[in-house]
Copies of this chain bind each other. A is one copy, B any other.
Amino acid sequence: MRELRRLSALTLLTTFPLAQSLALAQSAAPKPPAGYTRATADANAAFEKVLLDTPTPENARRWLFQLTEEPHVAGTPAEKKVADWVNAKFKEFGLETEMVKYDVFLNHPKSVSLKMVEPKVEELSLMEDNIPQDKDSTSRGQFPAFHGYGASGKANGQIVYVNYGSPADHERLKSMGISVEGKIALVKYGGAFRGLKVKEAQDHGAVGVLIYSDPADDGYMRGDIYPDGPMRPPSSLQRGSVQFLSLQPGDPSTPGGLPSTAGAKRIGRDQMTNVPKIPSLPISYREAEKLLRNLGGPRVPNDWQGGLPFSYHVGPGGAAVEMDVQMDEGLKPIYDVIAKIPGTSDQVVLVGNHRDAWTPGAVDPNSGTAAMLEAARALGAAVKAGWKPRRTILLCSWDAEEYGLVGSTEWAEDNAAMLSSKAVAYFNMDVAVTGPNFGSGGTPSLRDAVREAIHMVPEPRKGGMVGPVWEQRSRAAWAAAAPVNLDAKDPAFELQLGRLGSGSDYTAFIDHLGVPSTDGGFGGDYGVYHSVYDNFYWMSHFGDPEFIYHQAAARYLGLIAFRTATADVAPLRFSNYGAAMKEDLDEIRTDVARRARTAGANAFAPDFSALLKAVSDLDAAGRAADAATDALLAKGDAAAFAKMSDALNQVERAFLNKDGLPGRPWFKHQLIGPGLTTGYAPWPLPALREAVEKKDKAMFDTEAKRVVAALDAGTAKLKEATAIR
């Protein structure tokens, strides 16, 4: 899985002149990459050429074809087969490998049925249409519609439509005098992670939940539909996990940060607090229309209207269903495949992608797997050519991500001590390609590494490099959206990585362990998410018919891993960290100011001064640390490099708090986390954001102290690094 919203933002058009960005790229070229001495840069130029020259479109195409031969859901023999194949590929490329097995709680559907009983009796389809020219759409080996971690059960009831099913949507429904209590909630995909839609419905007393894909969100209103185009056709439905992802990911039978190792203490399904108790199913818009069109009750608020050709009503009345969901659930084996390129120091650089898919999964996740395999082949070629990395590289093919980041979370928990002290960075690539537009989220300290690597990757269609195209698109988005301050000089554009929310395997690394992380890829129009049409035919007709963006993704991933592993000093850069935190804090300050306009005397008026000071201190310390690193590198004092690397590597860990975020102790990071009510989308400064949403002044004050302490701890670590001589 992966944050869906980000993908559409990547399709943004731009008007920023290309020439300026190219100039910027050229002017940056003479400098060695972050963390490199000139000598190391020169010595490794030939290996970098291997990294860029080795990946080919043909191989990426071949890997993707093999990976997507059949649906490979976690815990099934088909997925084990793919794990073995990936393992064999890594070996073929000359890498050491290890297959790490965990037994984790999973579910597969035994039998599912959904029957409309009002306005008439009709069995509703839980399968997608076969499309003659696409052999993978024939659903060979495909489970019928179900939700990962969905509850078994029967539910009968009237339908109530609740828009995206967010807390605010249920509030709005309440203001209309209507509730889902005792009813079947019908909600749209989009916005929050689907598990949180089920959680809200359950918390409001619904007996069952149907989640459908509205054509306004990823169907015909967004583009031509499959097989004429890349968007979702009428019969298509979105599978996926309904874990309560923002509370805790990973195996629900081993909560609290414990790995699912042999002999681990387990809890039963009844004790699990992050999976639903009521049954839910995904359905298509063709089936949803049969219910929605007949709903009585009041007209929806205008912003709840979707793309079906009639005026939506909330119900109840007019439509009712019987659902029967029976799951085969229990402990099942999953397999993480870990390939290794040993380094000369004890620091570690990780690259990761999941392998399990709800369907053939050509986009999600095997475009990423294909790119990672080509990157692995290129790294193997560099090793054969004589390269020896300073830091050990681990290439991780995760299992059971789709159920709740299970493979990566259990492995990260299993290796927490090593990762906490030694992991410099985790580079995730879940979806490598849905189109031509590069984008990346990530920890601010990795911005320069991302920027430098992507500036080396040729743009296969437009000419030049991918970096400047990405930067101009980012700049155009900033130009259109960032507030204008008329009473001062307009602020300069500062490229930032998007903040990481959740929905992919970076979560345990950044949020639980404080390992700087990124997640990136090439985006475009993609409407078949988690459907049977996410397959090789789709990719080879719409996403990347020539596999040239797969090649670009492999070049980028190989190069950033190579550089991070090779640099004299760990390439973590902090000059822009303060600016990123200032953006996040200002977003909260703006939210507070806007709420105060309507709250009158009851305005929530927290004191931001200590936070602003802490951010300002971090900003200064970050700049000083970068200057100190540059001075060390210029001086060429190799003995100090290791000390500096270790020091810089502890900065992100300083932002963690052992007690975690309010009510979700697994999430340790105080500056970033998935939104409590969004799952996919990030909440920067999550505890402060939560306090503002709850209008809880006492909570804000308590949490602000913890955030200031975290920022100050980071500042202190930066000062320690700056002092290294």
Known: A299-B229, A596-B490. A311 touches B483 (CB 8 A): no
Output the least CB separation between A96 and chain B (Å): 47
The answer on a CB contact under 8 Å between B590 and A311 is no
The answer on a CB contact under 8 Å between B589 and A486 is yes
Known: A479-B597, A597-B490. A224 touches B311 (CB 8 A): yes
- A215 and B486 alpha carbons, distance in the complex (Å): 39
A231 interface contact, C-beta 8 A: yes
Chain B contacts for A487, CB-based, 8 A: 485, 488
Interface centre among A20, A299, A487, A596 (most CB of B within 10 A): A299
Segment of A72-80, A200-208, A301-309, A366-374 in the binding face: A301-309
- A590 and B600 alpha carbons, distance in the complex (Å): 28
Known: A16-B598, A490-B597, A598-B476. A311 touches B484 (CB 8 A): no
A46 interface contact, C-beta 8 A: no
The answer on a CB contact under 8 Å between A225 and B311 is yes
Chain B contacts for A475, CB-based, 8 A: 597-598
Output the least CB separation between A695 and chain B (Å): 13
Which listed residue, B215, B222, B594, touches A309 by the CB 8 Å rule?
B215
A17 interface contact, C-beta 8 A: yes
The answer on a CB contact under 8 Å between A594 and B480 is yes
Known: A15-B598, A600-B17. A311 touches B593 (CB 8 A): no
The answer on a CB contact under 8 Å between B493 and A597 is yes
- Chain B residue nearest to A593 (CB atoms) is B484
Chain B contacts for A346, CB-based, 8 A: none
Known: A16-B598, A229-B299, A486-B593. A309 touches B311 (CB 8 A): no
A22 interface contact, C-beta 8 A: no
Which residues of chain A in 208-258 are interfacial with respect to chain B, using CB atoms and an 8 Å cutoff? Answer: 215, 220-225, 229, 231
Which residues of chain A in 569-593 are interfacial with respect to chain B, using CB atoms and an 8 Å cutoff? Answer: 586, 589-590, 593
Known: A15-B598, A484-B590. A311 touches B20 (CB 8 A): no
Which residues of chain A in 1-27 are interfacial with respect to chain B, using CB atoms and an 8 Å cutoff? Answer: 15-17, 20
The answer on a CB contact under 8 Å between A229 and B311 is yes
The answer on a CB contact under 8 Å between B309 and A308 is yes
Which residues of chain A in 583-635 are interfacial with respect to chain B, using CB atoms and an 8 Å cutoff? Answer: 586, 589-590, 593-594, 596-598, 600
- A220 and B308 alpha carbons, distance in the complex (Å): 9
- A223 and B600 alpha carbons, distance in the complex (Å): 33
Chain B contacts for A221, CB-based, 8 A: 305, 311
Known: A229-B299, A485-B485, A486-B589. A479 touches B598 (CB 8 A): yes
Interface size on A, residues (CB 8 A): 43
Chain B contacts for A484, CB-based, 8 A: 483, 590, 593-594
- A406 and B455 alpha carbons, distance in the complex (Å): 62
The answer on a CB contact under 8 Å between A302 and B222 is yes
As a 0/1 sequence over residues 476 to 498 of chain A, the CB contacts with chain B under 8 angstroms (1 = contact) are 10111001111110100100000
- Chain B residue nearest to A479 (CB atoms) is B597
As a 0/1 sequence over residues 380 to 403 of chain A, the CB contacts with chain B under 8 angstroms (1 = contact) are 000000000000000000000000
Chain B contacts for A309, CB-based, 8 A: 215, 220, 307-309
- A307 and B310 alpha carbons, distance in the complex (Å): 9
As a 0/1 sequence over residues 303 to 336 of chain A, the CB contacts with chain B under 8 angstroms (1 = contact) are 0010111110000000000000000000000000
The answer on a CB contact under 8 Å between A299 and B594 is no
Output the least CB separation between A23 and chain B (Å): 10
- Chain B residue nearest to A20 (CB atoms) is B600
Chain B contacts for A223, CB-based, 8 A: 299, 302, 311
Chain B contacts for A215, CB-based, 8 A: 309
Known: A598-B15, A598-B479. A305 touches B222 (CB 8 A): yes
Output the least CB separation between A478 and chain B (Å): 8
Chain B contacts for A594, CB-based, 8 A: 479-480, 484
The answer on a CB contact under 8 Å between B231 and A590 is no
- A490 and B600 alpha carbons, distance in the complex (Å): 13
Chain B contacts for A229, CB-based, 8 A: 299, 311
Chain B contacts for A16, CB-based, 8 A: 598, 600
Output the least CB separation between A220 and chain B (Å): 5
Chain B contacts for A493, CB-based, 8 A: 597
Chain B contacts for A231, CB-based, 8 A: 311
- Chain B residue nearest to A601 (CB atoms) is B20
- A480 and B591 alpha carbons, distance in the complex (Å): 10
The answer on a CB contact under 8 Å between A299 and B586 is no
Output the least CB separation between A171 and chain B (Å): 12
- A172 and B370 alpha carbons, distance in the complex (Å): 37
- Chain B residue nearest to A308 (CB atoms) is B309
- Chain B residue nearest to A222 (CB atoms) is B302
Interface centre among A302, A478, A586 (most CB of B within 10 A): A302
Chain B contacts for A593, CB-based, 8 A: 484, 486, 490
Output the least CB separation between A463 and chain B (Å): 19
Known: A220-B309, A311-B220, A311-B223. A590 touches B486 (CB 8 A): yes
Interface centre among A16, A231, A484, A488 (most CB of B within 10 A): A484
- A421 and B169 alpha carbons, distance in the complex (Å): 56
Chain B contacts for A600, CB-based, 8 A: 16-17, 20
Chain B contacts for A488, CB-based, 8 A: 487
- A479 and B310 alpha carbons, distance in the complex (Å): 32
- Chain B residue nearest to A592 (CB atoms) is B484
Chain B contacts for A596, CB-based, 8 A: 490
Which listed residue, B220, B299, B483, touches A224 by the CB 8 Å rule?
B299
Chain B contacts for A589, CB-based, 8 A: 486
- A590 and B223 alpha carbons, distance in the complex (Å): 33
Which listed residue, B20, B302, B486, touches A586 by the CB 8 Å rule?
B486
- A229 and B311 alpha carbons, distance in the complex (Å): 10
CB<8 Å pairs between A and B, sample of 21: A17-B598, A20-B600, A215-B309, A220-B309, A222-B302, A222-B311, A223-B302, A223-B311, A307-B307, A308-B309, A309-B309, A475-B598, A476-B598, A478-B597, A479-B597, A479-B598, A480-B594, A485-B485, A486-B586, A486-B589, A487-B488
A483-B484, A486-B586, A493-B597 are known contacts; what are 10 more A-B pairs with Cβ within 8 Å? A215-B309, A220-B310, A221-B305, A222-B311, A224-B311, A476-B598, A483-B483, A484-B590, A486-B593, A490-B593
> Lowest 7 A-B CB distances belong to which pairs?
A479-B597, A309-B309, A484-B593, A224-B311, A220-B311, A484-B590, A479-B598
